[in-house]
Structure 1
């Protein structure tokens, strides 16, 4: 009898310890962001913050080089993106990219002995990534503002960014004998170890799907889908936002009405643009590189790595706490003529996106 009691006590203790392991250890700090009693608080864990601070420090920029003299594409061969820079600034930019992306591998990570050679896939990819960076810094300022992005924003000294995503592997139903999990109920880390749909990225950051929680009518009307499954996918994406930025719901939303834009924080509009920026970059830059990458760099279903909020933010409300690295590297914006041309081409998209996001009651999330 005594042995049974001991075993039961031990079982309860182990179970309790396992459950508590998933909770944050107090104390935590709360910052009030609205009226008292409304739950408008931002929760900060000092221990997590202390661990994060060293990882969110931007490297010191070297002085901008002399812009006089011949252009890089007049001196070097096969320079397609940064050719408008002076030779000195081009060399400085290349040195910075090496430190940002491949500090251990060095120039050989992208180049052969013939620097004009394009035989390495890394060089082809990096050229396209420079174009993507230039687009973000000129056409997605609604999201990145004056801070902008650099290669270091995502790479942080690693050839492959730490935070990327691939399309989730479909469930092996084994002739339907084990049931249909319907893309959820697996406690995935990307959705906060909940049972929510574990691939909200394909739905919202690749496909052009509206983020919805509930509808305004008893029965579905029109083409706007706002059912329970859509709500679960939305909450999955919101869990990702929370972890990626190290914030809770009230960073963007007002507890008075999560679906209302009237009292929402400015960060919600920033996130609205961020969703659309991620779709743009995944579809118009990353997807096009699928055949460029070797098989070992593709996901389990053969798709290319893609970006989400964590790719840049990596747990901070602003990447690198808002350090404005891009302003020190003029090559991360396109040549003036190219920038003007791209702005004209993107005018219809930008015109639609520049207007304040319009929300109805059905728009219960970003």
Structure 2
């Protein structure tokens, strides 16, 4: 009996070890660690160089189109119904249209946004969407430099050759559940990819990233004093914040100490400068979701809407896609000044 128990113990240990290697996100050595702060505070970023190499290949920026020659007729004189890129020359306009086709709809071509029998026609819904997205890109590059800096964004930053970017989200109605009192689960205890497969809130985006008018302190849940000085926030709010932090960590391919000092997570004085960049990024995402994306709901066909009837919206993964800097920091904007936010110099 004793021998049988020993054998059973060895078998169980082998099975558990195999399960750990195969299912628990275990990474075989070597891994690379980089100290980013004081020793003893856990200020270290740990990366798998093999996985990182794959991620860098997946996030390579495409080669730019040849620059447009200076001068030339304004696009508004050459084409009818130009409503957004009114400050571009015809050559600049054509160059940007070719690039957008490659970035957004390489398989569908011009017909994805245009009625090719009448390019001035507005009957294709994607043309209305594209105009809003062009306004959004220019707005980000001109008004959100605290987040995007001089690197900026282009259509490719999010789309990567797809008509709808891969890293988008819809309002999550949650899993099927009973009606009545039993339906009130507070978004908890349903492990979801949005929260790193934890039992935290399965939809941290709607309340924290979906509305441009969200309370600026909605995410802050940690008290600054030892004893409460005002009514504290409920546990459900705290779990939404933690779920969003998990999303940001996974979306950028970093851990918590990329922005925070683990000695005092809430302290701005002891955080890294990247926390300030992230602060602006959260507000930028709220802005573009509320100002440019949600208003497109009536324009989009039903197939583009989520289960709650909302459009696909942006979060951190939409641009970053697993890297701390989208496209590994490639400065595509310098090759496409047409998207820098304007206006562009007048065409002559």
Q: Does 1:135 align with 2:139?
A: yes
**Cα separation, partners in 2 of 1:5 and 1:290, compared to 1, 3 Å:** farther
Query: Are positions 1:152 and 2:159 aligned together?
Result: no
* In 2, Cα distance between equivalents of 1:161 and 1:185: 29
Asked whether the equivalents of residues 32 and 47 of structure 2 are also in contact (C-alpha less than 8 Å), the reply is yes
Partner of 1:117: 121
Query: 1:264: how far off?
Result: 1.1
Work out whether residues 220 and 226 of structure 1, in 8 Å CA contact, stay in contact via their aligned partners in 2: no
Q: What TM-score do you get using the length of structure 1 for normalisation? A: 0.85
Give the SS at the match of 2:314. Answer: coil
Match of 2:322 among 305, 308, 315: 315
Residue 61 (structure 1) aligned with residue 64 (structure 2): yes
2:88/2:338 contact within 8 Å kept? yes
Classify the secondary structure of the residue corresponding to 2:33: strand
Mapped to 2, the partners of 1:193 and 1:11 lie a distance apart of 25
Q: Which residue of 2 aligns with 1:226?
A: 233
Q: 1:47 aligns with which of 34, 45, 50?
A: 50
| CA shift for structure 1 position 220 | 6.3
SS in 2 for 1:336: coil
Matched, 1:331 2:329: no
2:219 equivalent among 204, 208, 211:
211
Give the 5 Å matches for 1:1-366.
14=15, 16-20=17-21, 21-27=23-29, 28-112=31-115, 113-176=117-180, 180-207=184-211, 208-209=214-215, 210-215=218-223, 216=225, 218-219=227-228, 221=230, 226-336=233-343
What TM-score comes out, normalization by structure 2 length? 0.90
RMSD: 2.4
Contact 1:212-1:226 at 8 Å conserved across structures: no
Distance in 2 separating the partners of 1:51 and 1:59: 16
Shift, 1:134, TM fit: 0.3
SS of residue in 2 equivalent to 1:30: strand
CA contact (8 A) 1:282 1:306 kept: yes
**What CA distance in whole angstroms lies between the structure 2 residues aligned with 1:217 and 1:38?**
21
Q: Deviations over 1:202-236 (max 9, x none)?
A: 121024142123223645627xx533222211110
Task: State the 1:18 CA deviation.
Answer: 3.6
Distance 1:52 1:272 in 2: 25
Gaps of 5+ in 1: 339-366
SS at 1:242 equivalent? helix
CA distance in 2, matches of 1:152, 1:282: 18
Q: Which residue of 2 aligns with 1:364?
A: none
Gaps of 5+ in 2: none
Structure 1 stretches of at least 4 aligned residues deviating more than 6 Å after TM superposition: 1-12
Query: Which string of whole-angstrom CA distances, capped at 9 and with x for unpartnered residues, describes residues 183-212 of structure 1?
Result: 021221121111111111112102414212
